[in-house]
Structure 1
Amino acid sequence: MSHVDLLERAVAYALGCLHGVTPDALSRPTPCRDWDLRALLRHLVDSLAALREAADDGHVDLEPPPVDHDDPIAATRDHARRLLGAWTARDGRPEVSIGGCPVTTDIVARAGALEVAVHGWDVAHACGETRPIPRALADELYPVALLLVSDADRPARFAAPVEPETPADRLLAYLGRRADGHR
């Protein structure tokens, strides 16, 4: 599967997870330590904007571009749609510069797919919805997580891995999330 197809499937999943988000839900806690749903959506919007910048401009600045967060629900949907358009229309450059360091577009798109899919799951969980990451998508993202998340990322960015409840849960478990939402 191409990295753009993987990113597209992750974005489609995350957009589906937004259906349960209402303005009243924005203060709910999420599986992301210290973040409520509003903060998680703002982070997701920033991530989507950075991924779009990678596709449009071939680079990502370490200082994120200014993004409108007034309505984080609408902003997430809008940035997700624009991201998909940018990646499908990109010019085929093999690398993206991130803070001046070259990274293959394949890695950038796969890392973005991981970020978007897992935070989509976080959004659904915060809204009290059971919306598992599709098994095929989770299976494709698991090696990306193994490549990108190490012990050095714990406990600051990710909780310690947990035992997966089912084989389908191994991606979430590796990232310190339990399918039931507890850490």
Structure 2
Amino acid sequence: MAALTERGRAVLLLEEAVGYGLGSVEAVTPARLRGPTPCAGWDLERLLWHLHESMAALREASDRGGVALLPAGPGGPPPADPVAAVRDGAGELLESWRCWAARPGPSCAPVAVGGMPIPGETVALVGALEVAVHGWDVAQACGRARPIPAPLALAILRRAPQVADAGTRPALFAAPVPVPPHACAGDRLVAFLGRPPDRVPPDPAA
């Protein structure tokens, strides 16, 4: 079996994140769409719309070799069926990045984000982080304790400081939350991104 390239590993990580995220989306019901999420000021419907927009921007980055900016928040009205939009967007995202990985060229082929060339592997990492952590947010909003799987969380954690640094954290993430030394990798990842791991919003249908 041929060894995975850097591009292949990046896409594999993205695939794992999408699989986890879609597993969380399965718990969404119409009654929960107006309920709270770990993202301050966003109900579940807006969170799903933001996730859909982020996946669309990441797909554009791989399709065109660049994107203006990855969205920091949801814009415009949400789709009629945000769950279906996320599912469709996830499939299109993976297909786009698989094609990117198969293209000829250097393993670290850059992708322009906001006009700045960034290694494609780093952009794929941003996608994996975005989908995995928002998948966790969705599970929390649905009242489910669903930690991000350890291998996925550890792979993202190793490079998360490159994404959530002093320049980007104020706009994209809250301050890190302390966790016990024995906390699992999934809890450490969401805590690093400013989310209390044990926070589960109340069931709006209760």
With structure 2 as the length reference, what TM-score do the two structures score? 0.81
User: SS of the residue aligned with 1:96?
Assistant: strand
CA contact (8 A) 1:45 1:76 kept: yes
Q: Could you say what the CA RMSD is over the residues aligned between the two structures, in angstroms?
A: 2.2
Change (3 A) 1:149 1:92: farther
Q: Which amino acid aligns with 1:70?
A: A
Structure 1's 55 and 66: CA in aligned 2 closer, same or farther, altered over 3 A?
farther
Unaligned 5+ segments in structure 1 are none
Percent identity for Structure 1 against Structure 2: 51
> Is 1:49 the counterpart of 2:56 in the alignment?
yes
Q: 1:62 to 1:111 in 2, by over 3 A?
A: closer
Structure 2 distance, partners of 1:167, 1:22, is 28
Q: What SS does the aligned partner of 1:118 have?
A: helix
- Once the 2 structures are TM-superposed, how far is the Cα of residue 172 of structure 1 from its aligned partner? 1.0
Cα 1:146/1:56, change in 2 over 3 Å: same
1:97-116 correspondence to structure 2 within 5 Å: 97-116=112-131
Q: Classify 1:103/1:173 alpha carbon distance in 2 versus 1 (closer, same or farther; 3 Å).
A: same
Q: Is the 8 A contact 2:21 2:132 kept in 1?
A: yes
Report deviation, 1:150: 2.5
Partners of 2:79 and 2:60 in 1: CA distance: 17
Cα drift, residue 30 of structure 1: 0.6
Q: Give the SS at the match of 1:179.
A: coil
Given residue 91 of structure 2, which amino acid in structure 1 is its aligned partner?
A: R
Q: 1:46, 1:67 within 8 Å by CA — same for their partners in 2?
A: no
Q: Which of the residues 97, 122, 144 maps onto 2:159? A: 144
More divergent stretch after superposition (119-128 vs 159-168): 159-168
Aligned equivalents of 1:82 and 1:27: distance in 2? 27
Task: Give the C-alpha shift of residue 151 in structure 1.
Answer: 3.9
Instruction: Summarize deviations over 1:153-172 as a string: whole Å, max 9, x none.
Output: 45543222112241322111
In the TM superposition, 1:22-171 aligns within 5 A as 22-62=29-69, 69-90=79-100, 91-92=103-104, 94-165=109-180, 166-168=183-185, 169-171=187-189
Q: Distance in 2 between matches of 1:101 and 1:19?
A: 36
Tell me whether 1:15 sits opposite 2:22 in the alignment.
yes
Question: Which has more helix, going by share of residues?
Answer: 1
In the TM superposition, residue 144 of structure 1 has moved relative to its aligned partner by 2.4
1:23, 1:11 → 2: CA distance? 22
SS at the partner of 1:97? strand
Q: Aligned with 2:174: secondary structure?
A: coil
Contact 1:68 1:75 in 2 (8 A): no
Runs of 4 or more, structure 1, over 6 Å off, are 63-68
Amino acid paired to 2:159: V
Which secondary structure state, in structure 2, belongs to the residue aligned with residue 27 of structure 1? coil
**Radius of gyration: which is bigger?**
2
Which blocks of at least 5 consecutive residues in structure 2 are unaligned?
A: 201-206
- Count how many residue pairs are aligned between Structure 1 and Structure 2: 182
Structure 1 residues 86-105: Cα deviation after superposition (integer angstroms, max 9, x where no partner)? 11122256111112211110
